[in-house]
Structure 1
Amino acid sequence: MSDLPEGLIEFVRRAGWGGAAVEAIPGDASFRRYFRLRRGDGAAAMLMYAPPPEEDPQPFLLVAQWLSGNGMRAPEILAQNPREGWLLIEDFGEDRMRDWLDAHPEDELAAYESAIDALVELHRLPPGPFSPYDIDTYLREALLFTQWYVPAIALKVDETGFEAAWREVLVPLAARQSPGVTVLRDYHAENIMLLDGSPHSPQGLIDFQDALVGHPAYDLVSLLQDARRDVPVELEAVMLARYTASIGADHEFGGDYARLGAQRNAKIVGIFTRLHRRDGKPRYLSLIPRVWAAMERDLAHPALEPVARWFDANIPENLRRSGGGTIV
């Protein structure tokens, strides 16, 4: 127990879970830490530690309350001390969509259908009380590619042209996304819990604290161009068609999906490089070729022509063929 954060035992005791067994859960790319609590009576709960100043649990609380209040399945908040970074929340169990499909690949179609249907349900709601996913945010994220990936492979590129190309591509999209939908921003197979232990289960949502109001295609990209799991391109097409048929998407939607796919994937390449070079987490580098392959497919769409032209002029073909090359 010596490696537990200071204050954990006292918070757990005050929450009525004193004496519960504490099991550390492998973390993600942030400073947050998670623990599963198990009591002798068989009850379980999840403990989130979001230590200030690096983390703030208040956004998680805000989004969780909004989701639950609108019929979506976010974890119930059992106890909280956000000033010190502690939240005790409902335990959704261990049936993550990603893990379920690793063990039951035959359920892939059903699981993705359920995930798409949950997004349709979310997007039919009025947007939540969250900040806008505006053009400045889109550009700031895309620029992570030139800020982190480009120096890591010692390239000299046209950084001004990179931003200009993205602005040309994204400004029309940003104008189309009003009034927008709630965008969870990390809606993928590792953040979807199957609450009844089947591919048709209700979708338990986690890791949504960065929610914004933006374009409905963004979370589709997050799900169907998953950085951590291979989603067959045929399945991606079928699920995209399922979504667009459900909401009656207009003729611009396919182009906007490609725009946000390329934007998100460029951002992720930058973030994974930063996790390695700044934070000492090299395990994310192995995911970049998958992300890069999805980005190349997005760049082939006519809507991405200015950005594709920049890649043609600035990123050598051998690096593109090898999924981004070797990052040191």
Structure 2
Amino acid sequence: VVFLNASQRYDSLIKWLEDTLNKPIQSIKSASNDASFRRYYRVHYDDHRTCIAVDSPPEYENGAKFVAIATILEKMGIRVPRIKAKDLSKGFFAVTDLGNETMLNAILSKKIKTDHLYKNAMNVLLKIQVKGLECQQNLPLYSKQDLLDEMQLFIDWYCFHHLQISPEIMADFDFKKIFNNLADHALSQKNVFVHRDFHSRNIILSADAELGILDFQDAVSGPITYDLVSLLKDCYIKWPDNQIDRWIDYYYQRLVKHDLIHVDINQFKYDFDLMGIQRHLKAIGIFCRLNYRDGKDSYLLDIPRILEYVAKTVKDYPLLNPLQQFMCKHVF
């Protein structure tokens, strides 16, 4: 197998698009960059028509999974990019263009009421969780090893690489025990369809204000609070605690109504908070890795926000006391 470099892949993608669309391409521009090896381009062709070209190198990305999850979500009635053409061996896709107005942009530009937008996003999530029950068995399980490996990124890339803390110092804090507890707690929750990156940058407002969903190819069967905490304790935008609490209440009531949850609201908030710690430790590690390994330094700017979430939550739970001590001593 010969792997092409970025420039060769771009040239190969253009040729594939011209052959596939069978129309002259008028312009092609970068549509977005995410935290993976995928690249997205907005393609203008055939007098004002657009599509999104996805370059998803097969040596790094699972193209077949992208197709499978897109199909599942579309059958649920969720707005996702529809696949117009694909070449799995090359890792090239042409998909429908949902637009370029992310939920984050809409919030920052104050184009739409925030509460309305979040409730809409939670309604989409609820639909995924309710309808996803039928197809969960087709998804990989979010295993204990997955959860532990993700938290280990915090140690490897943030503590060792970014903070330059020695393994000897790290041994003073029993992270293995904390990680085990967090993973076990996550696994004790009800399992549902988990998007795995459900946040304001991956939700698109279409022209009719209907919400579309992106970046779903890593979906798993996993904890019911995972996507909710991704949305409400978003790595890219922060809300006051009382606002987050109101949204949790809104979502919890809907889960109860659909008989999806059988714990009380206090337990649900506890599950939500601990799930948030697992996700945020992972995110801090990934954002550091993006900087040091992949040369994407913009994500470092989001780390203080995520650390703030962690610092606030660890104070409330004795289980997380060693993590609190570590942060007091080495982070703040």
Q: Structures share a fold, TM > 0.5?
A: yes
Q: How much does 1:63 deviate?
A: 0.6
Task: For 1:229 and 1:160, locate their aligned partners in 2 and report how far apart those are by CA, in whole Å.
Answer: 30
SS at match of 2:239: coil
In the alignment, the residues of structure 2 paired with residue 288 and residue 69 of structure 1 have an alpha-carbon distance, to the nearest angstrom, of 36
Select which of 220, 223, 229 maps to 2:237: 229
Name the SS for the 2:188 alignment partner.
helix
CA distance in 2, matches of 1:17, 1:287: 42
8 A Cα contact 1:9 1:18, kept in partner: no
How many Å apart are 1:124 and its aligned residue?
0.9
How is 1:110-129 mapped onto 2 (pairs within 5 angstroms)?
110-125=116-131, 126=133, 127-128=135-136, 129=138
Q: Compared with structure 1, are the counterparts of its residues 105 and 296 closer, same or farther at alpha carbon in structure 2 (3 Å cutoff)?
A: farther
Counterpart secondary structure, 1:189:
coil
Residue segments in structure 1 that go unaligned for 5+ positions in a row: 321-328
Return closer, same or farther for 1:182/1:36 CA change in 2, 3 Å cut-off.
same
Report the counterpart of residue 266 of structure 1 in structure 2. 281
Aligned partners of 2:247, 2:94: CA distance in 1, in Å? 35
Q: 1:294 to 1:263 in 2, by over 3 A?
A: same
Name the residue aligned to 1:139: 148
| Contact 1:170-1:259 at 8 Å conserved across structures | no
Distance 2:172 2:66 in 1: 34
How far off its partner does 1:81 sit? 0.3
Is the 1:182–1:211 contact (alpha carbons within 8 Å) kept by the matching residues of 2? yes
* Pairing partner for 1:240 from 245, 248, 260: 248
Q: Secondary structure at the match of 1:270?
A: helix
Normalising to structure 1: TM-score of the pair? 0.89
1:284 is aligned, of 283, 299, 319, to: 299
Structure 1 residues 293 and 212: alpha-carbon distance in aligned structure 2, compared to 1, 3 A threshold:
same
User: Are the structure 2 counterparts of residues 17 and 158 from structure 1 closer, same or farther at C-alpha, using a change threshold of 3 Å?
Assistant: farther
Larger CA deviation: 73-82 vs 160-169: 160-169
The aligned amino acid for 2:50 is A
Aligned to 1:296: 311
User: Is structure 2 residue 170 aligned with structure 1 residue 157?
Assistant: yes
Task: Find the aligned partners of 1:217 and 1:176 in 2 and give their Cα distance.
Answer: 8
* Paired position in structure 2 for 1:323: none
Fraction of identical pairs, as percent: 27
SS in 2 for 1:64: helix
The equivalent residue for 2:3 is none
SS in 1 for 2:197: coil
**RMSD of equivalent CA atoms:** 1.9
**Residue 117 to residue 159, structure 1, CA distance change in 2 (3 Å):** farther
The 8 Å contact of residues 258 and 299 in structure 1, kept in 2 or not, is answered as no
Residues in 2 aligned to 1:190 and 1:134: alpha-carbon distance in whole angstroms: 26
- Whether the 8 Å CA contact 1:146–1:159 is kept in 2: the answer is no
Provide Cα deviations, 1:4-53, integer angstroms capped at 9, x if missing partner. 71311221122224312212223112111111111233211100000121
- The alpha carbon displacement at 1:204 in A equals 0.5
Return the offset for 1:159. Answer: 7.7
Quick check: 1:195 aligned with 2:206? yes
Q: Which amino acid aligns with 1:123?
A: Q
Contact map agreement 1:23 1:37 (CA 8 A) in 2: yes
Contact 2:57-2:91 at 8 Å conserved across structures = yes
Query: TM-score, normalised to structure 2's length?
Result: 0.88
Tell me the equivalent position of 1:324: none
Deviating beyond 6 angstroms after TM superposition, the runs of 4 or more aligned structure 1 residues are none
Kept in 2, the 8 Å contact 1:109–1:235? The answer is: no
Mark the runs of 5 or more structure 2 residues left unpaired by the alignment. 1-6
3-state SS, counterpart of residue 186 of structure 1: coil
The farther-off stretch of 88-97 and 21-30 is: 21-30
Q: 1: distance between equivalents of 2:330 and 2:171?
A: 18
- Counterpart AA for 1:236: I
Q: State the one-letter code of the partner of 1:14.
A: D
